[in-house]
Structure formats: C-alpha cells, structure tokens
Amino acid sequence: MRFYLVDRILELQPPGRIVAVKSLSLAEEYLADHFPAYPVLPGVMMLEALVQTAAWLVRVQTDFEKSLVLLREAQNVRYGNFVRPGGQLVMEVEAIEIGAGVSRFKAVGQCDGQQAVQAKLTLEHFNIGDEDPLRANLDAGLRTLLRERFRLVRGPQALAAQARS
C-alpha cells in the first residue's frame, strides 16, 4: 500500500479552498485488518486524507517552497458514517491562515453526501535542510517529485478550471 491519501483534486482556489477525493478500493491490503469481513476506511486515514488535501493547498499557495508538510495538531476530529470500498471520500478544506512555516484549516470529509469526518488542522512546513543541514541536498529532488505528483492528481486542471470560472 502507498501512503497517498489524495487521488484527485477537484477544485483549487488558493489561498483559501481545495476540494479533493480519496477513492477507496478493496485492493488496499490494510483493509483486510480493518476490519475482517467489514472493510472500512480507518478514521485516521480519513484524517490523513484531510491533512494531505490541506498540504496540497499549502504547496500551491507557497509555490512548493517547503518540501515537507506535516500535521502538527488536530482538534475536534469527529467521525460520522463509514467509507466503504467502492466509495469515495470527498474532502473539502478551507484555510484559516497559511503562514511561512505554519498553517491552519477547517476540514470536512463526506461520503455519499453524508458527513464522514470533520477536523481542525494545524500543519507545519519546513525543508529537510532546516532540520538536517547535512541532507539539505534532498529538498530539491523532493520538491520536483511533489510537483510531478501534483500533475498526477490533476492539480493543474483544477487550477485551470477555477481560473476559467
């Protein structure tokens, strides 16, 4: 399994808003444990999907300036309906503020129009070089990789659609 929790960006309105999707498939092996005979997207994976969605907004807004974007704090994460294989979690994230090194968001995930998860998030952004000067050379490569992945999740299309509307 790969730790990518955003499959496609649907809407992108920097600096304030992003809508993305995580599609859930039975092919994701960890589902065999969660739960046997009753596979559902684990709550923390819903949270990670919200975090990664917010992270894309940070990256676009700051032009991928910092290569690492990580959850620093989550508040009032509440769960509702489950997301089952074949279903999609639609994540809607609104930025409260995006700073140079820290950002805050309100985030909601829905499945079939029903609320599955909601949370308040604080993210931190930094470069590898900030934490480990000896490996600062990794930042450039990671940034390139992330820009590629942004293309993969149809980020530019979402941006263009927003520009047209």
Partner 1 sequence: MALSRDEIMEKVREALVDALGVDEDEVVPTARIGPDLGAESIDYLDIVFRLEKAFNIKIPRGDLFPDNILTSEEFVQNKKLTEKGVAELRARMPHADLSKFEQNPNVDDIADLFTVNMIVGYVESKLSGAAA
Partner 2 sequence: MRWIWIDKFIAFEHGRRAISIKNVSLAEEHVHDHFPGYPIHPPTLMIEGMAQTGGVLVGEAFDFREKVVLAKVTRAKFYCHVVPGDQIRLEANVIGEIRMEGALIEGRITRNGDLVAEIQMMFAHLDQSRAPLELGEDNFVFTEDFIRMLRMRQLNHLEPPSAEHGS
* In the complex, least distance from residue 28 CB atom to partner 2, rounded to whole angstroms: 9
- Positions 54 through 83 that interact with partner 1 (CB under 8 A): 75-76, 78
- Nearest alpha-carbon partner for 65 in 151, 11, 130, 157: 130
Identify the residue among 145, 152, 160, 161 touching partner 2 (CB under 8 A): 145
Exposed, middle or buried, 66 (CB in 10 Å: 0-12/13-18/19+)?
Answer: buried
Q: Which stretch binds partner 2 (CB under 8 A): 2-10, 12-20, 92-100, 156-164?
A: 2-10
- Nearest alpha-carbon partner for 124 in 61, 67, 71, 51: 71
Active site residues: 34
Identify the residue among 25, 97, 99, 141 touching partner 2 (CB under 8 A): 141
Q: 29 φ, ψ to 5°?
A: -60, -30
* In the complex, least distance from residue 159 CB atom to partner 1, rounded to whole angstroms: 31
Tokens for 10?
């649907």
- Residues 23 and 20: their CA atoms lie apart, in Å, by 10
Q: Is residue 34 part of the contact set for partner 1 (CB under 8 A)?
A: no
- Residues 22 and 28: their CA atoms lie apart, in Å, by 12
Query: Cα 62 to the chain's mean position, in Å?
Result: 16
Q: Which stretch binds partner 2 (CB under 8 A): 17-25, 46-54, 103-111, 150-158?
A: 46-54
Q: Is residue 36 part of the contact set for partner 2 (CB under 8 A)?
A: yes
- Residues 49 and 17: their CA atoms lie apart, in Å, by 15
Q: Is residue 151 part of the contact set for partner 2 (CB under 8 A)?
A: no
Tokens for 86?
């074949």
Binding region for partner 1 (CB under 8 A): 75-76, 78, 120
Binding region for partner 2 (CB under 8 A): 1-4, 29-38, 42-45, 47-48, 51, 67-68, 70-82, 119, 128, 131-132, 135, 138, 141-142, 145
